Structure formats: C-alpha cells, structure tokens
Amino acid sequence: MDTFQFPFSPESWPPQFPFNAISQSWFKDFFQYTSGTNGKGTSISFDPLLVAKLQSEYFYEAVRLWQDMLAAKPPTLKDRRFHSPAWSENAFHAFNVAMYLLNSRFMLGLAEAVQTDPKTKQKIVFATQQIIDAVSPSNFLATNPAAQQKFLETEGQSLSKGMAHLLADAQKGWISQTDESAFEVGRNIAMTEGAVVFENELFQLIQYKPLTETVYQRPLLIVPPCINKYYILDLQPNNSMVRYALDNGHRIFLISWRNPDDSMANLTWDDYIKSGVLKAIEIVQEISRQEQINTLGFCVGGTMLAMALALLFASGKKPVASLTLLTTLLDYSDAGALEVYIDELQVRARETAIGNAGLMSGREFALAFSSLRPHDLIWQYVESNYLKGESPPAFDLLFWNSDSTNLPGPMFCWYLRNLYLENRLKDAGALSIDGEKIDLAKINAPTFVYASREDHIVPWTSAYASAELINTKKPAQNRFVLGASGHIAGVINPPAKRKRSYWINTTKPANAQSWFEQATEHEGSWWPDWMAFLAKYAGAQIKAPSKYGNAKYKTIEPAPGRYVKAKATG
C-alpha cells in the first residue's frame, strides 16, 4: 500500500461514514456482548487516534477497491480460502471477497484497538474472529463460485452428496473431518503389540511387547491426557512414539484412561491422582522390580503426573529416575487460547451444572478445541463436505481428533477452578490431594521439558516457566527443547519423515525469549534428543522379558484393550 496521509482527524470524520459516534457506540455494545461483559461493569473504550487511523485506511482501501472495480481491474486474492481460479475469474465474486477481507481487517483492527483488561480483550478478539470466519463467502453456496462451478459440472450431484453428508453428520452430532470408516482402533491404528495387565474403574495399564533382544533396566511409564484417547502416541507404526521408544530398547507401560459414563459421574481430581497415576506407578514398579522408573506425561497427563510425583517425593520416596513433560502446563499464568472459555462466571456455571455429579461431554470439548482454529477445523469442511459434496480423505490424526472423551463433572470443575482460573499449582502448599499438600519443588529428578513453538493450547513460554518449578535443587540436570509446529503435530514428529525442526539452548535464562534468542536450531525431529536424555537414566541393559505382567498382575486382554474403544456418551 502506498504511503497515505490521513485526511481527517477524529473530530472531523464524516458523520455519514459507518464509524461515527452512533456506530462507535454500536461497536462498543457489540464488543461488550461478544466478550460476555455487557452490563457487568467492565470498561470498554477505543483509542481515538488508532480508530482514526483504521478509519482512514478503510476509507482509502474502499475507494481504491471501488476505482479498480470501475476500471475492471480484478483484485489479487492472497487468502488461501479463495485460491481456486473460480474466485478471481468472476468479477462479482472477486470484488465481493476483496470487500469481505477489507471488512475483516477493519473489524479485527477495531477489536485490537479496544481498551480494556487483557482477558476481556482476548475474548473480544476471539469472538470477532469467530464471526468473521463464519460469514466468509466461501461458506455459502450463493457466494461460492467454486461450489457453483462444481454443481454445474456434476449436474447437481455435488450438492446432492453434500446434503447427504450434512444429514449424516447431523445424526452423528459432529462435522466429519476424515473418512472415519477407514480406521479401526486395534486393527490399523493403536496396533503396537502388548497386553492389558491391570484395570480399575479409571484406567487400564498396557504393557508393550519389547522389540529388541535386550532392554533398559528401568521401564518408562507414559501418562497421556485423560481428555483425549492415548493412541495419539501410537497412531501407526511409521508415526508411533510408543513404537519408536520400543525400537530404542525401552520397556513401555502406558495408561489407557476409561471414557467416563454415568457410573463415573462423581469421580474427583483426587481419584484420578490416587487411583490413576499413583496406582500405575506402583504397579510398574512391582512388575519391573525396579524401585525407580522413568515417566512421561503429555499435556494434562503431565500435570497429573507432576502432582502425583510431588506427593511421593514429599513422603520421602524417590520413585522416578527421570521425568519427561510434553506440552504441559504447571504455571497457568498464560494458559493460551483456552482462556476465552474460562472466567469466574463460566466456571461457576459449570460447577452449578456438573460440579457435584455429571459429565463434561466429549463432544463439547471437541467443539471448543475446534473453535480455536475455526477455519481449519470447522469451515473448510463445511465448504468441502456440504457445498462441494466431497468426501474427506482418510487421515489418522483427524480420526483421533474426532474420537472424543468425556470427563467426570467434579474432576473437570476442580481442574478449571484450581488450575486454569486460580493458578494455584505453582504455589507451594496451595493445593492438596487427599489432605497432602502439593509442592512441585519437592520433585528431585532430572526433567526433560518439550514445548511446541506454535502451540495455542500450551504456549511454549508457559511451558518454559513451568520447567522452572521442578528439580529446583539441580536445575542443570533439566533440559528444555522447543519444537516447531503446534500442540499435536509438534509432538508427533517421527525422525524418518525428516520434517520440521527444534531448538536447543543448554543455558537457562529466566526469560523465555532470551532463551530462544540464544538457542540453536536443528533440522528434523526432537525425538532422538529425547532418547539420548532418557538413555542416561534408564539403567543397564538386560534380557527382554518374554512374558507380560507377573504372578500378581496377569494378562487381562490384548492391547489396545476395551477402554480406548469406548465412545463418548451424551
């Protein structure tokens, strides 16, 4: 854009233009409504100089767009939603999109110009983006020339198939992101050989068959998140983190959380720590006959694992030789994009509805997470599945993404209030499990912390801050690794694919940005770096066991077990 001198001051802005005093008041009311603060006393105002700048830029771009349209000069559409030639070949649709993009920039600019507290502003920007994405011309047949073209080419069959897809998804209750018939848990996904050697009402414990003649003495216990199915770590042989660790000579045990139904509606966070993580640690120690094991926690699984280990270390026990945390929050000062759903009013509403008994629906979880990336996880499928009648391709990660998990209401509400809302875990003694106070500084074990640079659920800077809370007496033993991509794709990055990169910095400055500025980037997967860390604490090499379990804990059924196959209810 050429250098442009603003011709109007805020006082002289033309009253007929859409952002005069009346419309400014309307936008203020709109932003209060979208942030859920209407009538709540939250102060919302606009920086007049920034608004004047936005107005001038809007006016300049709108006039130039109008002149281009009169001169039959088509606009350049760089947004990937409008990459099809059909958008630029038709002047009406091209200029319609250009105006939509201009209005989108103006609306987001206004949202960013709002002067209010940071959390309210985050909600305003989030809600504005939701509306902008929802009204995109690509989402409607009347304004989508690519879908219209396909309708003509297929003599209406594309729309007929699209309506069939819409009806099928309406019956299921969610938008299909992949060909779900292409996968079956235990057949071509979550297929690493193993056996269930223990189960209770909360979880099954899977012991995997060794893939090497000798194995490390100390086994690795993996604690996945309970808000998702564990098999994100064991999708298929070529991208299975479980199999990779087995190939490198480790003995692997893994918690497979049960998908809660009404019989579990009263379970609490304490139950998940005591009857879940602590019980699994005890069993792995017994089966392996090792006083110390290695442990890994992923996302909220890492939070739960850290709390369980804090209890054990505080009691004088030293149950682990090392701890690995993948995209895990312990300090919730900046809890990422999910904060838009968490405030006192929303948490209190959850507590009223399901705080004493009930279930948090897995489908509601899935919708909330999808809304954080609305185009990628919602609207592009509306266009392709319904308007164009295309069937989504088979993709294992998206199959996992659609396989939702419920949570017990009391457990979920405790998690929201004490961790996300009040951020009490970082403070020694602020939280208790079964009357025992939690102090993360009590965990005296070398810790490997992995974060993803583009993670919108666990900001990498928050993961970095969390790493400072553990093994504080010997922080030099800790290792922080930053990988490229997001919350899932950054973690599931097998070396054989030679994709992405990661950053290493053995110094540990207090500021995360300082760490990154001094870090060295390495091509490929971070998994080998983790393997090198884990090998240091895995003990001697021994002959691989030929049987599962022991005399007390016998095989119950082959992996992946029943629990992971259960679908979310409600």
Rounded alpha-carbon distances, angstroms, from residue 230 to 33, 206, 366 = 38, 11, 16
Q: Which long-range contacts (CB under 8 A, 24 or more apart) does 81-85 make?
A: 81/136, 81/138, 81/375, 81/380, 82/137, 82/138, 84/145, 84/146
Closest CA to 419 of 329, 527, 540: 329
Torsion of CA 341, 342, 344, 347, to 10 degrees: 80
What is the distance between the alpha carbons of residues 255 and 224, in angstroms, rounded to a whole number? 7
Q: Distance (Å, rounded) from C-alpha 308 to C-alpha 457?
A: 23
Rounded to 5 degrees, what are φ and ψ at 479?
Answer: -135, 130
Integer Rg of the chain from CA:
26
Amino acid, res. 207: Q
Buried b (16+ CB within 10 A) or exposed e, 442-465: bbbbbbbbbbbbebebbbbbbbbb
Q: Which residue has the tokens 């989508």?
A: 144
Please report the beta strands in 387-495, taking only residues with DSSP state E, as ranges in sequence order.
407-408, 432-433, 436-437, 447-452, 479-483
Query: Do the strands 203-208 and 252-257 form a parallel or antiparallel pair, or are they unpaired?
Result: antiparallel
Q: What torsion do the CA atoms of 167, 172, 178, 180 make, to the nearest 10 degrees?
A: -120
Which 3 state secondary structure label does DSSP give 119? helix
- How far is the C-alpha of 28 from the C-alpha of 22, rounded, in Å? 10
Report the alpha-carbon distance of residue 548 to residue 443 in Å, rounded.
Answer: 30
Report the amino acid identity of residue 240. S
The catalytic residue among 113, 114, 232, 299 is 299
CA proximity to 497, closest of 246, 247, 238: 238
User: Is residue 259 a contact partner of residue 568, using CB atoms and an 8 Å limit?
Assistant: yes
- Would you call 565 exposed, middle or buried from its count of C-beta atoms within 10 A (0-12, 13-18, 19+)? middle
Q: Extract the runs of DSSP E, i.e. beta strands, from 5-154.
A: 45-46, 114-115
Q: Is 413 a catalytic residue?
A: no
**To the nearest 10°, the Cα dihedral for 333, 334, 339, 340?**
130
Query: Alpha helices, DSSP H only, in 315-373?
Result: 344-354, 362-371
Positions annotated as catalytic residues are: 299
